[in-house]
Amino acid sequence: MAETPDLKRRNFLLGGFAAEPSRPPVAVIGQSCFTFQGIACMSCRDACPTGAVRFELAVGGARPRIIADACTGCGDCSQACPANAMSLSNIERVS
């Protein structure tokens, strides 16, 4: 049985060692979100193709939350937000 080559060494020699796959940005909710002001708005949730924007019940009404593992960074939520509260950020994802 033949041994598999050391891929880390091969990547280093071929110049691919330093480049890790880049992760797409993740949506972030700003304080100007209408739901934080008591206004019922779920435009971001409705626009999200992956369901990464979810609303959870809280005292005073539903609050938005981003499921980072489901977010693809497409930006559809930020385009749909009437309060311009959604933005994309290259934050570190927590698994």
pTM: 0.69
What is the pLDDT at residue 75?
Answer: 94
Among residues 75, 93, 84, which one has the least CA distance to residue 27? Answer: 75
- Domains of the chain with bracketed CATH: 28-95 (3.30.70.20)
- Give the span between the Cα atoms of 53 and 89, in whole angstroms: 15
**pLDDT tens digits for range 39-81:** 999 999 999 999 999 999 988 889 999 999 999 999 999 999 9
CA 10 to chain centroid, in Å, comes to 32
